[in-house]
Structure 1
């Protein structure tokens, strides 16, 4: 989805120094270096291609893996777009590994079901305590226990891949982005009436506003078998439709509207320090600009029912082959 921001971000080249300062200070960052074994947070080597709107901007080359998480925290402004306030803390109820190939012409988005039982390495909690490594815990507990760093360590152990970048969007950020884009179009093959997410949609095509889009991303009751796998299909559709909508923008037609959109986008993100400024995000986006909507493949990590609990999942034997196919 980040590739679709390239035209928008590049158009900010005419912004004033103060506007750049404001946008830079919107972006929240997290240092993920402690989750990496050998500098995998570094963006791959830069090519000589430059951005026409930002002299000196270079596009990164080489394959890369980006962990994209959707946080389900109910705190702060997120409470206005979520109705079930009983859950406390925050988990990564949406987890996607985005693999970009070496030539930056294709991307594969692999969703990891939150109910997958995994090995969670030793992590540091928010209070500074160190946890013991543990097996057989739900994937989304990694973020709950140790935040982005613990989530990345867990993903790297699960997949065997090096994670180069981290991007996090919360409920409020997603809702604001969808509203700023004028809504997002989705199609459902059955009526949806989920009392948990409070989403009601009839079978067919709908334009969702921000609050509805959040509910759409969270809905699983009444979809398929009611598991996280049905929700993942909705999330993957939402991501592709957002990408399509952003790709279709005329980024230079209305500078005021453009700046408003960029400001919303930057307020919506938590990223690793290597992406922690507008100029860094532009560099990143330039390298992904060749990836069109049709070049993005969405899949779900192959899973099977956990022998210990039919309501939980484990990575199947095919999962290793999927991750190995992306390790290039």
Structure 2
């Protein structure tokens, strides 16, 4: 796993308290034993004198001021030590609040490659935020409704991938609609050992959480996006409510009075007046769950409302000076640690604090919220990733390119494998025809033509796979494991294919070249100039947009 900038040490404040206590103890000891140089000890016979004078005799009594100072120092030392111990115990208490689960419970071979460091040695951070609809407690059942689902497998109804750039100048967020259909990989429950086989047909992405826990949702994202995920944070219904209360409310906006309720009992129950309202507690949860009443009543509209809430929450946390109040901070820390389930790499308060410090470096105006580009499935009730646009959005995040278009990073940078390539004549390459597109039929014999081109360049083991016709927008070189990455890059270089089109994939068993629709003729590959603009279908929303307001369906006004 990519190591982020978080650390796992006991907070510095504890070390400071112990040091102060140590100094106070030494001070007390000095006070009790100190005698000015060159002076006799009272009652003694010179500096090294003998007998002690009795009280009431002619000898001097120990000054009262010195006894007061001595006991003050002792009390101070005990108080500081007590504070340090209390602080340490409270720190351990907060750590114990956190629930921890494995980061990724899919097959290790399916894991996305770790993010690469930039020229300054910095690495991006990818954190998956998961909202669980678990009805595993009385409170969650009451908040979530649906009494017949008590203690059934939870679903990941909210999924947001947060990408923080390597240089910490921008943040990109991708939400995946909960009704997205895709293939869920094989996952193994870390508690029971139960193995969930990879789905053989398309399944709703929110089902991933019930297949062994959040680690399966992480595995599903990595398989779909090829983005390496460093951490996850998961919260349930009651956690959302308690967090919203601890923050003190989050301002949201609707363009008309809204009541999310149908005659048949559907709806979140959200009831707000037109304009801006600060929602907290149960009302905050209702906002995040509302579908009936927002725009077209789809899950896409709900995702948009969630983006508005997240942006507003970030702005409030950064602007709210009252959170500098120790009591409020203590309440927020208590609430957050009780509400969160995290991966083991974020399993202490110190690590969460350091992660928050990294997140705070990003200016609000450089936060971009997006929704994975989608199309309706054949039945119109679910959605699928919009192939070209979704792949582009995932590439931008994978290559650390800001979604707001304000940075100067380019996707053409070369990434060299640490695994050296074999000699050209020993690299086995399978060539497939992917020239078929939605508007054009495949070019006959294309795989054979390019296979012969490779043989002519010295790749004697290149062969054409004439049994498979694919549809690929761009020519791509795929490889199954790290030990073949160098070979795949060598093939790409020989053909003039950019390194960004060399991709790890568990769908192939060896180095595989798919000749795409961008190379339908000729023997010289010319790479199209990359367009690094965020697709319009991603519905980008800037974190500093304070005018965003949800449109209310007229059928749900009051």
Q: Same fold (TM over 0.5)?
A: yes
How big is each residue's C-alpha offset from its partner over 1:248-292, in whole Å with a ceiling of 9 and x where there is no partner? 232674212211111111111111111100111122222222113
Counterpart check, 1:21 vs 2:87: no
1:23 and 1:40, CA in 2 relative to 1: closer, same or farther beyond 3 A?
Answer: farther
Report which stretch shifted further, 315-324 or 176-185.
176-185
1:236 maps to what in 2? Answer: 307
1:168 maps to what in 2? Answer: 234
1:23 and 1:216, CA in 2 relative to 1: closer, same or farther beyond 3 A?
Answer: same
2:181 maps to what in 1? Answer: 117
The partner residue of 1:128 within 181, 190, 193 is: 193
Report which stretch shifted further, 272-281 or 287-296.
287-296
Q: Secondary structure at the match of 2:235?
A: strand
Counterpart check, 1:255 vs 2:326: yes
| Aligned residue runs from structure 1 range 51-200, under 5 A | 61-76=122-137, 77-87=139-149, 88-125=152-189, 127-134=192-199, 135-195=201-261, 196-200=267-271
CA distance in 2, matches of 1:39, 1:133: 14
- Residues 42 and 274, structure 1, Cα contact 8 Å, conserved in 2: no
Q: Secondary structure at the match of 2:355?
A: helix
How big is each residue's C-alpha offset from its partner over 1:275-328, in whole Å with a ceiling of 9 and x where there is no partner? 100111122222222113222110000000112x21010000210000001113
- Residues 62 and 104, structure 1, Cα contact 8 Å, conserved in 2: no
CA distance in 2, matches of 1:44, 1:281: 23
Q: Deviation at 1:202?
A: 2.7
Q: Deviation at 1:34?
A: 3.8
- Count of residue pairs the alignment pairs up: 306
CA distance in 2, matches of 1:81, 1:42: 38
1:314 maps to what in 2? Answer: 384
Whose relative contact order is higher, 1 or 2, with alpha carbons under 8 Å and at least 6 apart?
1
How big is each residue's C-alpha offset from its partner over 1:90-112, in whole Å with a ceiling of 9 and x where there is no partner? 11100001111110111111100
- Residues 112 and 222, structure 2, Cα contact 8 Å, conserved in 1: no
Q: Could you say what the CA RMSD is over the residues aligned between the two structures, in angstroms?
A: 2.7
1:289 maps to what in 2? Answer: 360
Report which stretch shifted further, 72-81 or 212-221.
72-81
CA distance in 2, matches of 1:149, 1:228: 24
Unaligned runs of 5+ in 2: 1-5, 15-83, 262-266, 400-558
Q: Secondary structure at the match of 1:310?
A: coil
CA distance in 1, matches of 2:370, 2:161: 10
- Residues 291 and 298, structure 2, Cα contact 8 Å, conserved in 1: yes
Report which stretch shifted further, 236-245 or 311-320.
236-245
Q: Deviation at 1:117?
A: 0.5
